[in-house]
Structure formats: C-alpha cells, structure tokens
Amino acid sequence: MADQLLLPGATLFYSGFFVLASGALVLAFFVYDYSTYREDTDTEDLAVSELALNPLRGGPKDLPIANHLVDDDDSPEKKGSKHKPKLVILGTGWGSVALLKQLNPEDYHITVVSPSNHFLFTPLLPSATVGTLELRSLVEPIRRIVSKVRGHFLKASAIDVDFSEKLVECVVTEGDQQRHFYLPYDKLVIGVGSITNPHGVKGLENCHFLKDISDARRIRNQIVRNLELACLPTTPDDERRRLLSFVVSGGGPTGVEFAAELFDMLNEDLTKYYPKILRNEISVHVLQSRGHILNTYDEALSIYAESRFANDQVDIQTNSRVKEVTPDRVIYTQKDEKGEVVTKELPMGFCLWSTGVAQTEFCQNLANKLDELGDELPDHSPRFVLLSYPLTLSSGRLSVPYVMLYYLPVTCDSELRMLYAGAKELMRNTAEVGKIIEIDTAEDLEEIEEKLKGEP
C-alpha cells in the first residue's frame, strides 16, 4: 500500500516542480524582454573631443590624422585607455579576431580598420552557397568582438603604411567621393587576408569566387536562376544542358567542399520540387591542375574523395589547366597519359574559380617598401630587423615567412660586432623566428624575396 500511495506522491512532486520551473522560465523571459526596452531616451550631455570631430592635418600627404576618435570618452573605461599605446589592427579575419580575443583591454588603445564590418566563419561558406546554412549564422559583427576589449572600429580600407611616421593611410569611399585619412599607431597588426589568385586566366569576370558572404549569396542566386531557366518551355535542349553544367575550377578544399555541397543539394532537395529532367541532365565537373584533388592533404583523404566523387557521378578532370572562361564555356588544356597536351572545352552555366589565393595589392605595396627599410639602415652600425614578409610561392600558395634580418655592415667596429653577435641567439629565441638572414649592405635587401622563395 505504501508503494502505491507514495509513487503518485513523487509524480505529483515532479509535475509540480515541472510546472513551477516552466512558470519561472516564462516569467524570467518576460523580465528579460522588459529589460531590453529602455524608456529614457534623453540626450545626455556628451563629451566628444573637438580634435575627434575636426582632426588636425599632417603627415607626408597632409591628411587628417585621427589621433582622437569620437567614442574615446564614451565610458570611464574608454577614457582610461585613451592615452595607452595605440594598437591598430587591419582586417577582421581569423588572425585579427584571434588576436582580439586574447588581448587584455588594459594594455592598449585598440582600433580595428576594415572595409568589412563582420568576421566570417569561412570554412562553412561552401555550405551557405546552397542554403544548407543561413548566411547570417556565419557572421559575427566585428563591433561586438571589438567592444569586449573596449576597442574602436573604423569601416575603411587601409591602402598604405608610412613606417617612419607610424601612420596608416586609410580611404573611405562614399558614392563617387574618396576621403583619405591617417591613423597613427604604436603597434600595427596586418591581417588583411588575401585575394583569389587569377593565375593570369582570361574571362574570370564570367566566374564566381567564394571569399565573402556576398559571393555566397550571388552563387546561390545563380544556381536557382539556372535551375528555373532550365524548367522553362522556351529553353532548348542544349541550352538546358549548358545551364545545368556546373564547373568548379580548382580541386582544393574550397572547390571540393563546394562540389560536394552542390551535389548533395541537387540530389536531395532538387528532386523533390523540380522537374525530374533536371536531375537527369545535371553535371558537376571539377578541374584540377595536379594529378589528384585535395593534393595538399593526406593521400588517403585524396583517394577517398576521388572514389566518393566517382560514385556520385561528379566528373573530375585532373592535370587540367583552365586557359580561358567565356560566358558559356570553359576552355582548358589537359595532359594525357603520354604527356601530350590536348585542348578541351566544357559548356557551362556556372563556374566557380577556387584556385588558391594571392597577395592583396596592399601587401604588395608594403613588400615593395623594403627599399624604404634600406634607407633607414645606418651605415656603420649593425641592426636586427624582424620581418614578416608576404610572398606568393611558385605553387600559387600565399606564404608569410617570419624571419630575422641580421644587418652587419663591413665598416662596423669590432665592439658593436661582438655585442650583436652575442645577442643573436637570444633575439632569435625571444622573437621565435624560424630563420636568420644575414646581410651586409642595404642592396642585399633586394635578394630577400628570392632567398625566401628558395626555401624548401
């Protein structure tokens, strides 16, 4: 009897608890919701430095210098960091955001500059092109990340750096107008990323790229547009097959991931709502310049991907280099087994260009500034120079080796020579550089790029 009486009691207890907990949650939600509304919209007295509103001009090009920002006095914490060393971070990609997450807000006056106001979770971008993921779930507003370290954000493009005066030249485009200004720094972090490598191929304006969120949206629209056009009674047979021919140039991770996502969509969602003739006539092609796709990864992975694609009827063309892309065709050369080069072409309704990355114009400009470094080196005294040097390897891959230049002019006196020689290993270890390049004249700087490229 005790059993029968007590178990329902326990059930009642749990039911009661559940009801109470649910009630509390609903109540908590309304309290939270209420807290998100604010009634006081009084414009409070706001201290904004006159220098932030009308910056002084200066620097080599006599531009406004943004020494003070409009939100420098917005909170006591921000006021506190106003006179801290200025850390300027260019770009809002992986490098910049990883740094921002680890910074101590007490240490610097932080300013982030980028033409893009969000951080993008790039590995999932191929999934967003076919609608597996919502585009918005891949982005995080950079202002939210920056606010955690009490930083500032300026939506502008960095176009040049004056290393001697420690000024970043930024440009803002508004309609037809371009406005330039200088942003002063004490420490500068360059995380501007890279651009798609054109490899000198003609007709890339007929291709899609996959670097940014707007690229993903354009790709999605183009895929849907092609599918809808293919259903229409006015579309002739060969035109429909062309519209349904999806070509991916580049067998690296982006291209392979995209081809797989595309295939999944065509196979799973398409068949449900579109005429069946589309599924029968669709073709997905991957053009790869090397002998295997995913060739920078482990061989097992590469073989698995190839066998999987073969099973899925995704057509892989290896040893193929694209020569030209026209609005309706991709022309490429293929090396056959005998080593002979044949020119082939594919009709295409959509082409993704994902053949690796190249240096941005901004980085190229900075690299050219090594000459300026030469001007700064003294004639008779040694120097250590820490150099993070962006260059494009012959394989098309972007690499930014971090090295130490050990400048030791022949005319330098023996005491200084001893001093620097003794500090060399300490410097190498403290700075954690991989390689030391020794030079004895400023002219040797010109050979650095070749020396770095020559590395295994």
Site of interaction with a copy of itself (CB under 8 A): 2-3, 6-7, 10-11, 14, 36-38, 41, 43-44, 46, 48, 52-55, 64, 66, 69-71, 74, 117, 134, 136, 141, 143-144, 147, 153-156, 172, 174-175, 179-181, 224, 228-229, 231-234, 236-237, 267-268, 272-277, 279-280, 312-313, 327
Total number of residues shown for the chain = 456
The two structure tokens encoding residue 186: 């004490």
Cα–Cα distance between 219 and 217 in angstroms, integer?
5
Which are the contacts of 235, defined by CB distance < 8 A and separation ≥ 6?
A: 229, 243
- What is the DSSP pairing of strand 109-114 with strand 152-155? parallel
Q: How many CA atoms lie within 13 A of 418 on its CB side?
A: 3
Burial class (CB in 10 A: 0-12, 13-18, 19+), 40: exposed
> Are 310 and 316 a contacting pair, CB within 8 Å?
yes
> Are 170 and 113 a contacting pair, CB within 8 Å?
yes
Q: Which is nearer to a copy of itself, 30 or 37 (CB)?
A: 37
Q: How many CA atoms lie within 13 A of 311 on its CB side?
A: 8
Degrees to nearest 5, angle at CA 191 with 198 and 75: 140
Query: Smallest distance from the beta carbon of 254 to a copy of itself, in angstroms?
Result: 23
> Are 190 and 363 a contacting pair, CB within 8 Å?
yes
Question: 358 has which bridge partners?
Answer: 195
> Are 188 and 88 a contacting pair, CB within 8 Å?
yes
Cα–Cα distance between 193 and 397 in angstroms, integer?
13
Cα–Cα distance between 345 and 355 in angstroms, integer?
18
DSSP 204: G
Chain-centroid distance, C-alpha 388: 18
Pick the closest to residue 115 from 219, 211, 197 (CA basis).
211
Cα–Cα distance between 415 and 30 in angstroms, integer?
75
Pick the closest to residue 109 from 193, 52, 38, 174 (CA basis).
52
The two structure tokens encoding residue 324: 């030209």
With helix as H, strand as E and coil as C, how does 117-180 read?
A: CEEECHHHHHHHHCCCCCHHHHEEEHHHHHHHCCCEEEECEEEEEECCCCEEEEEEEECCEEEE
